[in-house]
Amino acid sequence: MAHHTARLPTEGHSENKARDILDGMSRYRLDPTSIKIADPTPRAWGGQSVVIIGTLTQPGTPRILQLIPKEFEKLLPKFLEKIICDESNEVQFEAVEKMISGTDELVFKAFKRLRSEALKKGMTGKLKELAFEAFKELVFGKKVAVKKFEWPHDDTEKSARDFKSFVNELSLMTSLSHPNIIKFLGFVEDTKKGDAWIVLPWEANGNVREFLQSGEWLIPERISLIQDTAKGLEYLHSHDPPICHGDLKSLNILVNSSYRAIITDFGSARLKRSVALEKEENQWVMPRQMLVNGAESTSPQVKFDPSTLDLTLTGPNFSLRWTAPEVLKGEMGDLPSDMWAMGWICWEIITGRMPFEELGREPLIIDRTLTGKLPLIREDSQLSHVLMLCSLMSDCWLSDPGKRIGVSAFQRKTAIMPSETPSGSASDGQKARSVGLLVELGRMYELQSDKANAQAHYRSAIGVATRTKDDLGKASALQCLGRIHGANSNFGEAESSYKEAQEICSRVGNSLGTAHALGGLGEIYRMQSKHQEAEKVFNDAREAHSRAGSDLGTGNALVGLGNTYQAQSKYPEAEKAFNAARETHYRIGNDLGTGNALFGLGNTYLVQSKDLEAEKAFRKAREIYSRIGNDLGAASALDGLGQVHRAQSQNQEAEVAFKDAREIHSRIGNDLGTGNALVGLGNTYLAQLRSQEAERAFREAHEIHSRIGNDPGAANALDGLGELYRAQSKNHEAEKAFNEAYKIHSRSRNDLGMGNALLGLGSTYLAQSKDLDAEKAFRTAHEIHSRIGNDLGATSALDGLEQVRRAQSQDQEAEGAFNDTRTIHSLINENFGAGNASRSLGIVHDYRRTWNEAEQVCNHQVPASPDCANDDHSNARALLALGKLHHTQHRYLEAEETITKALAIATNIAHLQGQATTSQLLAEILRSQLKRSERMDNLIEAEVVYAQIGNHVSRAEIVRKIGDLQVEQGMYTEAEESYHLAQAIYLSIDNAGGVATSLRQLGELCIYQGRHAEAEEYFTQARLGHAVIPDENGEAKALDGLTAVHALQGKFGDAKATCMEACEIYRRIGRPLSEICVYISGMIHVVEENPL
């Protein structure tokens, strides 16, 4: 291959510079006579060098040791026992030190250090083994790999250039120190004799490709090699400045005697320039100050010959099969180029096949790389077991280098995959599976939802651990087995497994293991509706994980707590726990944990009728679960989406979601999930009046849940059957189903389920004219739903009570209460409920049809005069609904008058929530009329009331609006105080989104005042805050602010960069570009075309 480098006028000077650098590394220089090369046959070739095996002897080795023949090596342990061990067979280090006291000083110091480290680590039992290894090295030398450079003696210019490259590689290697990077031992250099060697440890296991071919290695063992490589690459990319390896492939990854992967061969490595130097033409430099002019740095290029239709390569030596497309296009290799190669390394290690192994000609390989025709990784028989890794490989192989995953994120994600360090064969040649390997195999199958295989491997691990008396291994396997028992609803066995694991960990003093066992036990309690026990155990687990510094364990405990709070209808506590868990898992790159937290949030939003928030959470959770290949999670997220669609009367979408969920649950053998999906399907069929299909679904679900002993699921199926029978006027069957469901919900302490069963019972009693029974059921239902904060359920109970009273001819009271329920239903956007109340009054309207009809309904609820008021609460709500309607129609004076009346009522009856809500709405109406002073008064009043009732979120929102109004009035100092107050409120309640929004507003305020540096800081913090949540829309707005600040400061390069990032986010989330993006991008375009 041709090299395109020109001789520079400073050639002689640069060669002298290289010589000075080499002289500065004299402590690494080795005497060539200390390296014995018995076999000069090259073991590897690369560029201008070959690798051969040699033996490095230590200078100053005692003469008596040098005379020992090689054949004596087998007898050396016995010889050592005679001369360095006492009568108890313990090593006498004094005797050892005396023997080597006359050797080289460095050898003597190294041996003393070895002794000190061995004693410090409590390795007294291994001291003899360490002494043997040290003496073996002293006597026979250390086996090394010698990288010998071969330079042309007849080409002075090329010889000088190769010499500089040799110095560059040496200088870089002396700066590296990491367990997964090859250790640099020294060098030999004598240009007159043509000697230029780099000496490295010889690794007998060879490179990764050779190692994988040497035996049968299971997937967790292969994942371990990937994890090691990722750690080594992360070290290089995190170096200051970062190092691009430039030739990453399986042949340049060795496996040492401890079966750990280490990266080698830094002949193509480059250091990334500092930020200041990146603006120069060439982005990459050679190590340190010693970029030697003339050193090779040209990237390969692809050239097309139209006459022959051939693709040819020019440039330095490189490895085509692993080469990124941008490098083939002539760009300099960058950190993302290493990540492209990392994707291929994963392919090689898992499949055992080279990249494009089926292709022999270079043009075909180049074409596949440039056109993105890469393997279908998820269809590979081996890779299909590790879909999480498939996702990461896809992220490595993105055609746009800027979008590829970074090595730190890659390393974090691979770190949580099932893995185990490879182990050698047993003495009989058969490879024994260790406890750790069996557990990791079980985890691999569990992640695939293959519970039978997972359970079999966990049981095998327990058996091996019991035989080998491995307490911690047994505890680990017991916890995994407990998890499988729980998933199979075998709660007794699960509880026993976790308690046994907890006992073992406590006995041996393993606090982290104890914490894990507590978390598992809490989950089993929660699944059995033992909420108090679960809450206590999860809190204990969280505290234990926090003390141990385990973010992963803390996040998992928080998810368990969130689920427990939700089951007890403690929704604010549940939201807080799930959000904290999501932030923790997202920070450490744990996709599974993030998905679990989002799923919990979705369920919490769902039971509070926060449908939009629930749908967003479930969709994000499903995307994560699908991407990492977690079928159970994906199916559960589909269940959640089905429930959201059903709550929004989107029955077709709900049916599709539930059917997809049932198919996945059935395929992976998850009876619990199958039953839940069937309940969802039954309710969807019921809403569409498909009675036969609904009954079939409910009965099948009830049978499954009863069989596996899942009481909550069985009760939900009975609730569905009860609703179906009631709709068919089969009141006796309905009453029986609801009563049975209520008993089960009571036994499980499921408040929401109890309330809903009572609503069904009340309606069934009412249909049979059992008014007293109906009233009792509705009253109890209202008490339960009110206590747990379920407004929809409470309103439905009130509706039922008024139907009872109307049936008892209490017409006047009934009319007022129906107005009340209709208004509440309207306010929570439950049009079906509002329509029911209206029909009871003889007013049957579709509120979405016309404003006039809606206004008529609202006016029916507003009393003609205060004397006609039967219920101040109802009147205030009716006025509030009417005022909102007027505001929507831009009838501001009528809206102001109506809401003022509602505020007067709320104030008169001291209804604080009503005062705050009406004051807030009145402020919005006054804003439409530009009445700033009156608007400020109402905002302040709302803020005071929200502070009184402890509604911190609403208070913070009002404070921000006060700040906005102060900005409009030019009161910048006061506005800044308001924004800071809002920020402090959000901080006090751990509302990261609110904090980020407040920071954005502070940034905007600083722009108005010309405080650009402070504005930039605020927007930067806001962007980080939105990104952590994550809130892409908020992040884009923060980038808008940064773009504006950069443009105002004349930093058009920075403005362009942030503007492009914002535009990319807007496109990704399907929103139109902001005005700032459009304006700034246009301005930058003009500036670039017309430079000042």
CB atoms within 10 A of CB 45: 9
Half-sphere exposure (Cβ direction) of 892: Cα atoms closer than 13 Å: 9
Q: Are strands 270-272 and 284-285 parallel, antiparallel or unpaired?
A: antiparallel
Q: H or E element: which one contains 503?
A: helix 491-508
Residue 346 lies in a domain: yes
Instruction: Say yes or no: 188 and 217 in one domain.
Output: no
| pLDDT at 6 (0 to 100) | 32
Residue 136 clears pLDDT 80, i.e. is over it:
no
Confidence class of residue 711 from pLDDT cuts 50, 70 and 90? Answer: confident
**DSSP H helical segments within 550-590, as ranges?**
551-567, 571-587
**Binning pLDDT at 50, 70 and 90, where does residue 24 land?**
confident
User: Would the CA dihedral through 11, 16, 19, 20 be positive or negative?
Assistant: negative
pLDDT confidence band for 589 (50 / 70 / 90):
confident
Q: Is residue 224 part of a domain?
A: yes
Q: Are residues 134 and 248 in the same domain?
A: no
Same domain, 251 and 192: no
Do 221 and 197 reside in the same domain of the chain?
no
- Whether 648 has a pLDDT exceeding 90, the answer reads no
**387 and 500 share one domain:** no
Residue 1051 pLDDT: 87
Looking up residue 243, the CATH number of its domain turns out to be 1.10.510.10
pLDDT value, residue 71: 57
Q: Confirm if 237 and 407 have CB atoms less than 8 A apart.
A: yes
CA distances from 927 to 297, 655, 681, 930, 944 (A): 64, 44, 47, 5, 19
Per-residue confidence band for 837, with pLDDT thresholds at 50, 70 and 90: very low
Q: Do residues 288 and 355 both lie within one domain?
A: yes
pLDDT band of 874, cuts 50, 70, 90: low
Residues 109 and 91 in one domain: yes
Model pLDDT, residue 488: 78
Domain boundary among 492, 522, 546: 546
- Residues 232, 370, single domain; the answer is yes
Residue ending a domain, among 518, 546, 574, is: 546
Instruction: Specify the residue for token string 């689920």.
Output: 563
The answer to whether 720 and 698 have CB atoms below 8 angstroms apart is: yes
> Is 959 within 8 Å of 984 (Cβ atoms)?
no
Q: Give 199's strand partners.
A: 146, 186
Within 871-911, residue ranges assigned H as helices are: 872-888, 892-908
What's the pLDDT score for residue 994?
A: 84
Q: What is the mean pLDDT of the chain?
A: 79
Question: String of b and e for 990-1027 (b: at least 16 CB within 10 Å)?
Answer: ebbebbbbbbbbbbbbbbeeebbebbbbbbbbbbebbe
Q: How far from each other are the two terminal CA atoms of the chain, in whole angstroms? A: 45
Provide the residue type at 912 as one letter: L
The three-class DSSP label of residue 549 is coil
Looking at per-residue confidence, does 201 or 92 come out higher?
201
- How confident is the model at residue 930, as a pLDDT? 82
Q: Are both 393 and 468 inside the same structural domain? A: no
Contacts 24+ apart (CB under 8 A), 978-983: 979/1005, 982/956, 982/957
Residue 265's nearest CA partner among 55, 56, 44 is: 44
- pLDDT confidence band for 841 (50 / 70 / 90): very low
Whether residue 196 is contained in a domain is answered as: yes
Domain membership of residue 286 as a residue range: 208-415
Measured distance CA(316)–CA(299) in Å, rounded: 7
Crossing angle of helices 1075-1089/1052-1068, nearest 10°? 140
Same-domain status, 54 and 110: yes
Task: Count Cβ atoms below 10 Å from residue 272 Cβ, excluding itself.
Answer: 19
Q: What was the pLDDT predicted at 358?
A: 85
Q: Say if residue 465 is in the same domain as residue 332.
A: no
According to DSSP, the residues that pair with 196 across neighbouring strands are 189
Neighbours of 128 (CB within 10 A): 17
Q: Residue ranges of the alpha helices (H) in 909-1049? A: 912-928, 932-949, 952-968, 972-988, 992-1008, 1012-1028, 1032-1048
In a domain, 1015, yes or no: no
* Locus of tokens 């090394």: 144
Q: Is the pLDDT of residue 110 over 60?
A: no
pTM here is: 0.56
How much is the pLDDT for 427? 45
Instruction: Identify whether 1039 is part of a domain.
Output: no
pLDDT tens string 47-97: 567 888 888 876 655 544 555 555 555 655 565 555 555 555 555 656 655
The mean per-residue pLDDT over the stretch 788-813 comes to 68
Q: Which helix (H) or strand (E) holds 305?
A: strand 301-305
pLDDT more than 70, % of the chain: 75
Least confident of 234-248, 268-282, 962-976: 268-282
pLDDT above 90 (res 1039): yes
Output the pLDDT for position 921.
Answer: 82
Q: What single-letter amino acid sits at 877?
A: R
pLDDT at 897 over 90: no
The contacts of residue 337 (CB under 8 Å, 6+ apart) are 244, 246, 323, 324, 326, 327, 401
Sole residue written with tokens 């507590």: 518
Residues 978-1016 pLDDT 10s:
999 999 988 886 677 789 999 999 999 999 899 999 999
Q: Is 777 exposed, middle or buried (0-12, 13-18, 19+ CB in 10 A)?
A: buried
Find the mean pLDDT for residues 280-299: 40
| Peptide bond between residue 1030 and the one before it cis (omega within 30 degrees of 0) | yes
Are 431 and 216 in contact, with CB atoms under 8 Å apart?
yes
Nearest to 462 by CA among 480, 445, 450: 480
**Which residues, including other chains, have CB under 8 Å from residue 1017's CB and lie 6 or more apart?**
none
Q: 3-state DSSP call for residue 1046?
A: helix
Q: How confident is the model at residue 294 (pLDDT cuts 50, 70, 90)?
A: very low
- Residue 308 in this model has a pLDDT that exceeds 60: no
| Gap between the Cα atoms of 682 and 664, Å rounded | 17
CATH of the domain at 473: 1.25.40.10
pLDDT value of position 805: 76
For position 172, which CATH number holds?
A: 3.30.200.20
Taking each helix axis as running N to C, give the angle between helix 511-527 and helix 531-548, from 0 to 180 degrees, rounded to the nearest 10: 160
Position 23 in a domain:
yes
Q: Are 928 and 892 in contact (CB under 8 A)?
A: yes
Dist CA 344 CA 331 (whole Å): 20
Q: What Å distances lie between residue 839 and 47, 209, 248, 843, 1009, CA to CA?
A: 87, 76, 74, 5, 58
Q: Of 556, 557, 554, 551, which Cα lies nearest the Cα of 538?
A: 557
Collapsed DSSP state (helix, strand, coil) of residue 353: coil
Tokens of 603: 């369920």
Burial class (CB in 10 A: 0-12, 13-18, 19+), 436: buried
Cβ contacts of 132-136, under 8 Å, gap ≥ 24: 132/76, 132/77, 132/80, 135/65, 135/76, 135/80, 135/96, 136/73, 136/76
- Lookup result for tokens 């929660």: 526
Q: What is the model's pLDDT at position 785?
A: 82
| Block residue for tokens 């994120």 | 409
612 or 315, which is more confident?
A: 612
Q: What is the DSSP string of 25-45?
A: TGGGB--GGGEE-S----SEE
Q: Are 674 and 704 in contact (CB under 8 A)?
A: yes
Last residue of a domain, one of 525, 546, 567: 546
Return the pLDDT at 501: 94
Q: Based on the domain organization, do 406 and 499 belong to the same domain? A: no
Question: For every residue of 732-795, which 3-state class applies, written as one string?
Answer: HHHHHHHHHHHHHHHHCCCHHHHHHHHHHHHHHHHHCCCHHHHHHHHHHHHHHHHHHCCHHHHH
837 within some domain: no
In a domain, 730, yes or no: no
Cβ neighbors of 746 (< 8 A, separation 6 or more) are 754
Q: Give the span between the Cα atoms of 442 and 1032, in whole angstroms.
A: 37
User: Where is average pLDDT lowest: 417-421, 453-457, 760-764, 1051-1055?
Assistant: 1051-1055
Secondary structure percentages of the chain, helix, strand, coil, to 5: 70, 5, 25
When comparing pLDDT for 118 and 572, which is higher? 572
Q: Of 311, 312, 317, 280, which Cα lies nearest the Cα of 298?
A: 317
Q: How many domains does the chain have?
A: 3
The whole-angstrom separation of Cα 1004 and Cα 1010 is: 10
Mean pLDDT of the region 529-550: 90
Closest CA to 1035 of 1044, 1043, 1027: 1027
Q: Write the pLDDT tens digit of every residue in 731-767.
A: 889 999 999 999 998 887 778 889 999 999 999 888 7
